[in-house]
Structure 1
Amino acid sequence: MPAAAVPFTLPEGAPLLKVSDAVVSKVSGMLAEEGDPNLKLRIFVTGGGCSGFQYGFAYDEETKADDTTIEAGTLKVVVDNSSLQYMLGAEIDYEESLEGSRFVIRNPNAASTCGCGSSFSV
């Protein structure tokens, strides 16, 4: 009989999400181009993708009642609590390479991920 999956728990004092300096730099520059100082980066999880769940990114002016706000340098990142449960302890990074540029999420809650890294299962 397979062992039951053990839910990920954060070590005492660990951040809810880690946002890299590369994300702060890239997104802060993109938000500055928008000219709206109230914009924040929203990260969310939805059903779909080839592994069951997929990550999404959007700009948002609103902070809703069930949102958690993470401040990383000058950047404010908002995540709704439903999504946060699947991303707790994840590291959000931004990479540029010869293949292109993309956001990368290293998620300790993901049991598996797809080849492109944009969807996962728990």
Structure 2
Amino acid sequence: MKSELLITKDLTIEQVFENYPSKAQKLAQIMTNAGLHCVGCQASTFETLEQGMQGHGMKQEEINNLVYELNKVLNEKESTEDVKFTDFAAEKCKNFRKEDNHGFRVGLNKGSCGWTYDFKFKETKEDNEVEFKDKGIKVFIEKEHVDKFKGMVIDYVDGLQNAGFKVLNPNVKGTCGCGSSVTL
């Protein structure tokens, strides 16, 4: 029995985010990884997934693969566990830190259109922080933000245009047009 597709090639990019706000950040990352870089531009309000992909020179098979990957995300069970690293992000984190005992602080900065993530390496946690561990890495988070990070996965993207830590956070309710701020 074939399951019904919740996301189709005929939905606009904006409709995808409006229909699935808790998965918007992860869906946006999949679209961007597939070469659909108009996720945060004005075209996302009127352009369908298919039109956007075709506009970027993608073939029908690539469009079908994108739709499949987006629907796969909708069927994933959301984690309620602590912060986790992908294997690649953990490897990068270990390479970047100055000392083996340094932890990775994940913070939030309030901006004009939402929250942005702030990453830094530090030796010890502060009194207002809690500590988690994953894959041999200490993670420090301010106590007031712990609920905003439950189930969060930290990945590392290494591309021609961008490289850096990327957050997949199931608690995100929306993203701003610039693509760098989130609503939590």
Other-structure match for 1:43: 106
Identity of aligned residues (%): 26
Pairs within 5 Å for 1:80-119: 80-114=142-176, 117-119=179-181
Residue 19 (1) aligns with residue 85 (2): yes
Whether the 8 Å CA contact 1:105–1:117 is kept in 2: the answer is no
| Larger fraction in strand | 1
The structure richer in helix per residue is 2
Judged with a 3 Å threshold, the aligned counterparts in structure 2 of structure 1 residues 116 and 42 are, in CA distance, closer, same or farther, namely farther
Q: How many residues align?
A: 107
Q: Considering Cα pairs closer than 8 Å and 6+ residues apart, tell me whether 1 or 2 has the greater RCO.
A: 1
Partner Cα separation in structure 2 for residue 14 and residue 109 of structure 1: 10
Alpha-carbon spacing, 1:104–1:114, altered in 2? closer, same or farther (3 Å): farther
Match of 2:135 among 34, 49, 73: 73
Structure 2 unmatched ranges of 5 or more? 1-76
Q: Normalising to structure 1: TM-score of the pair?
A: 0.74
CA RMSD of aligned residues (A): 2.2
Structure showing greater Rg: 2
Measure how far apart 1:85 and its partner are: 2.2
Q: Which residue, 99, 118, 140 being the options, matches 1:56?
A: 118
Unmatched 5+ residue regions in structure 1? 1-10
